């Protein structure tokens, strides 16, 4: 049975974050540092309180009651908190509560490494704090925050001024630069999605190949910047530990790595947005990225390509734009299977960039894999419960039937 999908228009509300760089003056930077210190203090104070409660065997105090207790102490012991917004304290308390509950949830699930929350460090942890969206005002060139008034933006017009609702805003510091991430509620406009299903094969030589013959080149941002990064690493290693010059060298190196990450993220965003907006159904393989990273010959190249980030972006963007994702079982031999007759070539190696079959087919191996992924997804049947079952009429799959060959996300 072939699945048929009609054209449709979608309208939905989503929460979307807009992150951009601030241009604060020295007074505002001092306020940011103090607010980050307050968020770190509240997080550590709450975690210490709950740890002591657990050791005594007492019932855990809810974060709202604990926040009230800290608000009372603010009037006597922690009067310096009046210099900052109350929302800094509230969100820091909520974050600690969530981390604490997540630990016990993972323990109940039998996770071997549940990850108990750690105390935040002034030196090593990221500096950030969050405030409620009701206290944030936005215009094209600046944002207004409580206790600090208007702050200039380096990028004008990026954060939407007339959004449905401002949920919250997070201010953070990265390598000496200050950023604001504003989460707003938006209504996605109606748009028409074509009735097209494609398969995508991810790779190192070419980042992504679609079944309709479109190749997305791998930017290889880390490889291109490798020479400069090595030089910065050498400069850092020669600086005396604890010196100011070493701290400056650390920032220079961190900025270089940050640039690499941003270029990669920008390209992945462009590709995934185009696919999610224009395709009705997208089929990808369930790659074992963590296992692939164990191969020290390919780990750097795989990490540079960003397979995991590609899938993550594709999943939430498909949810935004009304597309669907079918995830193909990782053991399905998409590269070794002939997309024409279904025969499997077990002798195919990574060095073989062209797939040749006895039936006469000669095709690029990545394109062949993408077509197989598309064909497998095209004939996958979904039962009433939404669970995937085996495809029943496809030559390429009939050679090797496997359970769980396709599933919807």
Would you name the residues annotated as active-site residues?
A: 201, 285, 366
205: nearest Cα among 43, 366, 77: 366
182: nearest Cα among 22, 21, 20, 17: 17
Q: What is the rounded CA–CA span in Å between residue 78 and residue 252?
A: 37
Rg of the chain over all Cα atoms, to the nearest angstrom: 26
DSSP state of 344: B
Q: Where are the alpha helices (DSSP H) in 153-243?
A: 221-224, 226-237
267: nearest Cα among 325, 207, 180: 207
Three-point CA angle 81, 87, 89, nearest 5° = 50
Q: What is the rounded CA–CA span in Å between residue 210 and residue 401?
A: 24
Q: Where are the alpha helices (DSSP H) in 19-62?
A: 26-56
Q: Which residues pair with 131 in a beta bridge?
A: 169
Q: Where are the alpha helices (DSSP H) in 226-243?
A: 226-237
Query: Contact 197/378 with Cβ under 8 angstroms?
Result: yes
Residues 6 or more apart whose Cβ sits within 8 Å of residue 281: 5, 196, 197, 198, 323, 324, 325, 326, 377
Residue 238, SS3? coil
Q: What is the rounded CA–CA span in Å between residue 200 and residue 192?
A: 22
340: nearest Cα among 320, 356, 354: 356
Q: What is the rounded CA–CA span in Å between residue 263 and residue 232?
A: 19
Structure token digits, residue 293: 């990273």
Q: What is the rounded CA–CA span in Å between residue 239 and residue 241?
A: 6
Structure token digits, residue 234: 């050498």
Query: Contact 88/129 with Cβ under 8 angstroms?
Result: yes
Based on the number of CB atoms within 10 Å of its own CB, is 56 exposed (0-12), middle (13-18) or buried (19 or more)? exposed
């Amino acid at each position: 049975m072939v699945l048929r999908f009609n054209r449709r228009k979608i309208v939905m509300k989503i929460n979307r974050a807009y992150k951009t760089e601030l241009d604060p003056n020295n007074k505002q930077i001092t306020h940011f540092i103090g607010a980050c210190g307050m968020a770190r203090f509240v997080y550590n104070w709450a975690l210490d309180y709950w740890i002591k409660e657990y050791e005594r065997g007492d019932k855990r105090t809810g974060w709202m009651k604990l926040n009230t207790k800290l608000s009372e102490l603010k009037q006597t012991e922690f009067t310096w908190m009046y210099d900052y917004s109350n929302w800094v304290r509230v969100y820091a308390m909520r974050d600690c509560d969530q981390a604490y509950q997540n630990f016990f949830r993972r323990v109940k699930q039998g996770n071997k490494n549940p990850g108990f929350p750690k105390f935040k460090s002034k030196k090593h942890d990221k500096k950030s704090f969050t405030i409620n969206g009701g206290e944030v005002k936005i215009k094209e060139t600046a944002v207004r925050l409580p206790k600090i008034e208007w702050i200039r933006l380096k990028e004008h017009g990026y954060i939407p001024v007339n959004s449905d609702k401002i949920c919250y805003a997070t201010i953070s510091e990265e390598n000496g630069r200050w950023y604001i991430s504003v989460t707003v509620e938006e209504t996605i406009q109606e748009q028409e999605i074509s009735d097209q299903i494609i398969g995508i094969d991810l790779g190192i030589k070419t980042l992504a190949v679609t079944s309709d013959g479109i190749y997305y080149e791998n930017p290889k941002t880390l490889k291109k910047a490798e020479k400069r990064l090595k030089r910065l690493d050498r400069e850092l290693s020669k600086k005396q530990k604890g010196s100011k010059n070493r701290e400056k060298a650390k920032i220079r190196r961190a900025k270089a790595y940050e640039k690499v990450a941003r270029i990669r993220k920008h390209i992945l965003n462009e590709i995934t947005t185009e696919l999610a907006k224009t395709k009705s159904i997208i089929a990808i393989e369930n790659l074992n990225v963590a296992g692939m990273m164990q191969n020290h010959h390919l780990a750097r190249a795989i990490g540079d390509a960003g397979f995991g980030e590609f899938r993550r972006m594709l999943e939430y963007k498909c949810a935004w734009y009304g597309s669907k994702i079918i995830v193909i079982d990782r053991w399905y031999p998409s590269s070794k299977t002939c997309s024409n007759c279904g025969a499997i070539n077990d002798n195919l190696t990574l060095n073989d960039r062209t797939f040749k079959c006895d039936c006469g087919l000669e095709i690029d191996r990545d394109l062949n894999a993408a077509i197989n992924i598309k064909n497998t997804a095209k004939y996958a049947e979904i039962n009433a419960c939404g669970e995937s079952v085996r495809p029943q009429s496809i030559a390429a799959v009939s050679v090797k039937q496997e359970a769980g060959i396709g599933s919807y996300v």
